[in-house]
Structure 1
Amino acid sequence: MVNVQRLPYRRLRFSKETRRNLKAGLLFISPWLLGFIMFTLYPVIASFYYSFTSYDVLTPPKWVGFSNYAQLFTKDNLFWKSLYNTFYYTIFSVPLSMVFGIALAALLNMKVKGMAVYRTIYYLPTIVPVVASSVLWMWMLDPQIGIINGILQSLGIPGPGWLIDPKWSKPALIMMSLWGVGGSMLIYLAGMQDVPQELYESVEIDGGVWWHKFRYITLPMISPVIFFNLIMGMIGAFQYFTQAYVMTQGGPMDSTLFYSLYLFNNAFRYMHMGYASALAWILFVIILIATLIVFNSSARWVYYGGAR
């Protein structure tokens, strides 16, 4: 047998100056630590516990085990409806927003006189408050007096009902989301301006045109930016709430009852806080799985300069 000699245990000791610096550092970050514990850590732990209870805020929570989750998956049709609406919105709005954002960034990356003004104009919708922009779009999408149907009628095209038609309500909100691509467009633009010009010059020497530059130089070089915007856009789309709450309240016929709106209704309208906590944790798992899938696929299409 091999004789293994046990090393003597030594207690880790800090010098007096190290302990003093540690105390000072903890004192400086104590406001953040208290805020994190009170407003983030405790609510997360409490919501996980409440998801296994029947809790209406007014009375003490009653333990029900997995009943909330079982009811969600087997008896709650609105749960599946809201999940379908959310996936529908995410699948269409996120890719369209990325395409429009990249296209706008490519146009605004051109060397044209007065480009700073154009960039400001396209970015302005991003800083408009969400509620104000929702009210504006409610007027624009009005089937009777809305400007969008007015333009369509002038072209001889009958305008749809938009927000009052179940078939057009989600496409209307997707179209509205494209109005606010200025934020992601600015990030794409920053990534494009960081691409070395020597790469474009080499394509020109080889006889390449603008499409070759965009396909083989621009897109690979800004792939980390695309990856970031994809993750953030996907997380935001899964939590889509404000516009639907202001504009439709989930109607017509639950066609815009998105997951976060259904969660909000259960928590603050019906006071089913335990049920809403279960909804929240399911949403967390869905977002986590979707994010992990994108992360695992990123090794095949995201290029980091200098990485091996």
Structure 2
Amino acid sequence: MAAALAAGPGRPAPALKARRRRQALVTLAFLAPWLIGFAVFFAYPLLSTVYFSFMKYDGFRPPVFTGAANWRYVFAHYPLFWPALRNTLWLVAVMVSARVVFGLGVGLLITKIKTGAGFFRTAFYLPYLAPPVAATMAFAFLLNPGTGPVNHLLGDLGLPQPGWFNDPSWSKPALTMLALWGIGDLMVIFMAALLDVPKEQYEAAELDGAGPWQRFRYVTLPVISPIVLFAVVTGVIQTMQYYTQPIVAGKVASGIIGNSGQAFEPGYPDHSTLTLPQLVYNLGFQRFDTGSACVIALVLFAIAMAFTALLMRRRGGLFQAGE
């Protein structure tokens, strides 16, 4: 008490200041692993990417400052940037939406199955475990317009036979079908969320005369909305990094895969499967234009952050309109 009075009004006692300092140091010690990881694996790479975006650098000679030359080249003179941007945004809008709706539908369906639910859970989850390269190659052979069994079956049924990965208008829908085939991750997440919805709320809604759609709209969706938001945000981030499947599908469809020594420009057919991550690899590791690759990487980062911020800002009203 005497030490506190001696410190004067509004001024903490030395013992209190020392205790706060110790608490701050303990907190910092617990945060240190995360802070170190954040600095090494996020802050430093991000700042380096910004730095090299203003440099001419091929990975061998010292970087040379060129101002905004790389930015002007990518946005005004690089012919593949805008097709890749359009394809990436198309995949974000269509593929993410389709995966969320399909994953939620499959999860809802399996939770309603009384017998054989374990079999269907396993059957829908197993494709997710397939390696992306193997799964894409299998899909490319199944959807081969000339020899694939899918088009043979469609022909036997008298239906149109698309070109799939060999047709610019069908290549992105074919990639979306591949993404829906590996829906097991979202199915499991949505099943866990659906099983966590209180049954009392369903019973109360049913007593009030709510039908199946009303119960889903006003009971299920509000409860699982955080999980839906999580699925959308992570889906957007993953799709902004979409690289393996489109480039493997393009190689298989063009006949390049398996033939060593052949040059391959990503995006077959007609740049319809070209994505921004492919441009980052092509510019940075095949053409050794690190500065332009960093520009596209920063564009990817900015778009992903913008989508995430928009979704997080609107999270409270995603499923409330019309109530």
Aligned to 1:184: 186
Of the three residues 284, 287, 301, the one matched with 1:267 is 284
Shift of 1:208: 2.7
Of the three residues 120, 123, 132, the one matched with 1:130 is 132
Structure 1 unaligned runs (5+)?
A: 304-308
Tell me: CA distance 1:72–1:13, structure 2 relative to 1, closer, same or farther (3 Å).
farther
Aligned to 1:293: 310
Aligned to 2:242: 240
One-letter amino acid matched to 1:253: D
Structure 2 unaligned runs (5+)?
A: 1-7, 251-265
Aligned to 1:83: 85
Normalised by the size of structure 1, how large is the TM-score?
0.87
Count of aligned pairs: 297
Aligned to 2:275: 258
Tell me: CA distance 1:80–1:12, structure 2 relative to 1, closer, same or farther (3 Å).
farther
Which whole-Å CA distance do the structure 1 matches of 2:94 and 2:113 have between them?
32
Aligned to 2:232: 230
**Percent identical across equivalent pairs?**
36
Which whole-Å CA distance do the structure 2 matches of 1:121 and 1:127 have between them?
11
Shift of 1:108: 0.6
Tell me: CA distance 1:271–1:11, structure 2 relative to 1, closer, same or farther (3 Å).
farther
| Alignment root-mean-square deviation, CA | 2.8
Asked if the contact 1:48/1:281 (under 8 Å) is kept, the reply is yes
Asked if the contact 1:227/1:302 (under 8 Å) is kept, the reply is no
Aligned to 1:42: 44
**2:289 equivalent to 1:279:** no
Alignment map for 1:122-161 (pairs within 5 Å): 122-161=124-163
Which whole-Å CA distance do the structure 2 matches of 1:169 and 1:123 have between them?
24
Which whole-Å CA distance do the structure 1 matches of 2:290 and 2:16 have between them?
48
Aligned to 2:223: 221
User: CA-to-partner distance for each residue in 1:189-221, whole Å, 9 max, x for gaps?
Assistant: 111111110111112222332222212211121
Residue 158 of structure 1 aligns to a residue whose secondary structure is coil
Shift of 1:238: 1.6
User: CA-to-partner distance for each residue in 1:161-190, whole Å, 9 max, x for gaps?
Assistant: 111111111111112111111111111111
Shift of 1:8: 6.3
Residue 168 of structure 2 aligns to a residue whose secondary structure is coil
One-letter amino acid matched to 1:189: M
Which whole-Å CA distance do the structure 2 matches of 1:27 and 1:299 have between them?
32
Normalised by the size of structure 2, how large is the TM-score?
0.83
Aligned to 1:173: 175
Tell me: CA distance 1:93–1:10, structure 2 relative to 1, closer, same or farther (3 Å).
same
One-letter amino acid matched to 1:199: Q
Aligned to 1:70: 72
